[in-house]
Amino acid sequence: MKLDPTVMKDWEIAEAAEADMKSIEELSSDFGLKPEEVIPMGRKLAKIDYKMVMKRLEDAPQGKYIDVTAITPTPLGEGKTTTVMGLVQGLGKIGKSVVGTIRQPSGGPTFNIKGSAAGGGLAQCVPLSEFSMGLTGDIDAITNAHNLAMVSLTARMQHENNYDDARLEKIGLKRLDIDPERIVIKWAIDFCAQSLRNITIGKGGKMDGFEMESGAQITVSSEIMAILAVSRDLKDLRERMAKMVVAYNKQGGEVTAADLEVDGAMTAWLVKAINPTLLQTIEGQPVLVHAGPFANIAIGQSSIIADELGSRLADYLVTESGFGADIGFEKFWNLKCRFSGMKPSAVVIVATIRALKMHGGGPVVKPGKPLDAAYSEENLDLLEIGCSNLIAHINTVKKSGVRPVVCINSFYTDTDAEVALVRKVSEDHGAFCALSKHWLEGGEGAVELAEAVVAACEEENDFHFLYELDMPVRQRIELIAKEVYGASGVSYTDTVLAKIEEIESDPSARELGMCMVKTHLSLSHEPSWKGRPTGWTLPIIDVMVYKGAGFIVPMAGAVKLMPGTGSNPAFRRIDVDVDTGKIQGLF
């Protein structure tokens, strides 16, 4: 059956492609795995025993490491995951041994506005239904581990409220004196459930818990997801879980999972989840799926375990960092690579002509409204102004010591003159550039991109971090703000300055990376400022510490840990063929 993305929906392409999928046995064998290293999870999926593989390949050389990032996101889309799949397929077309590593999609966006994260057109990961709806249970395991921490915390508060010190001592508990006004975490659910953001729990009598204000956060925003993403192995994960701060006591001290004696049980939920899941592109290349999104308050990237595993099983590994290079790549660069010790051989910046026009001042795009002609007709002036955003991201990647590859993710309305303009801008600013038609043509359409990436990988680079961990917190914040975002300066509230002083007084803070939080919709903190904003100050309104994940988290704006479901969510179009049991309507 001919797969035509111009007339077929993504789920229809995926369903048709699944008929020709490699069996798990064939896929894992082609990937260089031994039968005993593969843990089948049904007919189409398997987990990989990473510990067994890493022990066998401990001294094996690592393959070329390629990160895919993008310009600042717009409602028109850039297509990072689609480009990851297309590049993996393109490298396969030119005879390279290659694997992709991507995140597991969250149920929140899958059933809401964004949809799944399997790619699109002829550049997809399959099986789509399994990928989009729970996969092998990793997010469920994180939900349970997170909620177990909340169960432990709220039960402890109830018992400390009801019992005196002698009674607590008799049952082996030391009073933690938890401050109900300083609970760090909420309950977890992997949907966009805005009605659960703010709730009161513990109503009833003294046996019904401790009454206090609480709420829910989406599972993928949990620190446990970040811990899974950055852990090197089960031992590392177990140690990080113990350090996770869940609350503060009334004296201002930390209350950790270890203090609640729940860290071991939380880790037990993740024993299976620590193994990456093996899927494939629609052209049969292996794809490892591990960890999850939410790239703002965490790193939102595939796990270190998946990347290390894949890099020893293939000559080229293609991964993705969420949002634009200012957020996703910056965290890949200064957090993920620092924790893993891996260094990128190439970095791809995905851009579309249409998105660049929006950054050039193009009309606002409103859901359900016809697209303005500015985005479908040639407009070199608008495009040239918008390229300021692309240049900013090129410069960010170059500051890491790596020469980027700009991928022009092709759309049928792009004109030759528009493509030529983006090529010239990219090359004039020191980047490789390639046009890719992977959405329409699959791997064959990504050959030019694949060849550009191979060329970039052959160049020597001088990869280095933007900051060292012994640099003071404010200096690190200001370095990222000015060098990556383009801010003129940084402002702090008195409360934030006091928190920073407290963080710096803790010797363990010198081991923590910097996980900046700001809007992904602009290089600045203001979502409506497109292009390359100048002459602005970044306001830091709060700072948190994720000791388990190993992050200091400065916040340049409020972040909702529980997104909301929109008025026209994806679940309205998802259904099941009752005769075959196949799921339809995913995108």
Q: Express each pLDDT in 147-169 by its tens digit.
A: 999 999 999 999 999 999 999 99
Q: Does one domain contain both 295 and 433?
A: yes
Domain coverage including residue 152: 138-268
Distance between CA atoms of residues 509 and 303, nearest Å = 23
pLDDT tens track for 15-39:
999 999 999 999 999 999 999 999 9
C-alpha closest to that of 317 among 33, 13, 65: 65
pLDDT for res 413: 94
Helix 223-230 × helix 138-162 angle, to 10°: 130
With contact defined as beta carbons under 8 Å apart, do 192 and 253 qualify? Answer: no
- Going by C-alpha positions, the residue among 117, 93, 101, 89 that lies closest to residue 10 is 117
Domain assignment present for residue 467? The answer is no
| Sequence letter at residue 574 | I
Residue 9 among the catalytic residues = no
Active site residue 560: no
Q: How many CA atoms lie within 13 A of 193 on its CB side?
A: 15
Q: Is the distance from CB of 405 to CB of 347 less than 8 angstroms? A: yes
Residues 395 and 348 in one domain: yes
Residues 294, 329, 439, 551: which is the catalytic one? 439
Q: The dihedral of CA 71, 72, 78, 81: what is its sign?
A: positive
Could you say which of 74, 82, 277, 352 is catalytic? 82
pLDDT digits (tens, 9 = 90+) for 277-312: 999 999 999 999 999 887 566 788 999 999 999 999
- Both 237 and 277 in one domain: the answer is no
Residue 342, C-beta contacts closer than 8 angstroms, at least 6 positions apart: 62, 65, 304, 307, 308, 311
Catalytic residue at 420?
no
Residue 219 known to be catalytic = no
The SS3 of residue 7 is: coil
Give the CATH number of the domain where residue 279 resides: 3.40.50.300
CA distances from 482 to 135, 389, 533 (A): 40, 15, 12
Task: For residues 309 and 339, state if they share a domain.
Answer: yes
Residue ranges of alpha helices (H) inside 138-198 are 138-162, 165-170
Within a domain: 568: no
Active site residue 187: no
How many structural domains does the chain have?
3
Kindly provide the b/e burial profile for residues 83-122, where b requires at least 16 CB atoms within 10 angstroms of the residue's own CB.
bbbbbbbbbbbeebbbbbbbbbbbbbbbbbbbbbbbbbbb
Tell me, yes or no, whether 67 and 157 share the same domain: no
Whether residue 576 lies inside any domain: the answer is no
> Do 249 and 277 lie in a common domain?
no
Do residue 186 and residue 260 come from a single domain?
yes
| Phi, psi for 144 (deg, rounded to 5) | -70, -40
Query: 535: left (phi > 0), else alpha (psi -120 to 50), else beta?
Result: left
Which residue among the candidates 64, 114, 331, 530 is catalytic per the annotation?
Answer: 114
Residue 565 lies in a domain: no
Q: What is the mean pLDDT of residues 199-207?
A: 93
Q: What is the pLDDT of residue 109?
A: 86
Domain stops at, among 243, 268, 293:
268
Residue among 117, 291, 295, 570 flagged as catalytic: 295
Q: Phi, psi at residue 86, to the nearest 5°?
A: -65, -40
**d(Cα 377, Cα 516) in Å, to the nearest integer?**
37
- 292 and 435, same structural domain? yes
145 and 130, same structural domain? no
Mean pLDDT of 193-212: 94
pLDDT at 120: 94
Confidence at residue 366, expressed as pLDDT on a 0 to 100 scale: 81
Pair 350, 451 in one domain: yes
Active site residue 549: no
Q: Which of 131, 332, 333, 411 is catalytic?
A: 411
Q: Which of 44, 47, 93, 103 is catalytic?
A: 103
> With contact defined as beta carbons under 8 Å apart, do 102 and 96 qualify?
no
- State the catalytic residue, choosing from 80, 336, 357, 403: 80
Based on the fold, state whether residues 316 and 424 are members of the same structural domain.
Answer: yes
Catalytic residue status for 272: no
Q: Tell me, what's the pLDDT at 484? A: 98
Span 89-138, pLDDT tens digits: 999 999 999 999 999 999 888 898 877 788 999 999 999 999 999 999 99
Catalytic residue of the set 11, 191, 269, 323: 323
Residue 295 is a catalytic residue: yes
- Provide the whole-model pTM: 0.95
Both 333 and 262 in a single domain? no
Tokens 């829910």, residue? 216
Question: Does 572 reside within a domain?
Answer: no
Predicted confidence at residue 296, as pLDDT, reads: 63
CATH number of the structural domain spanning residue 508:
3.10.410.10
Short-list 143, 17, 7, 13, CA closest to 586: 13
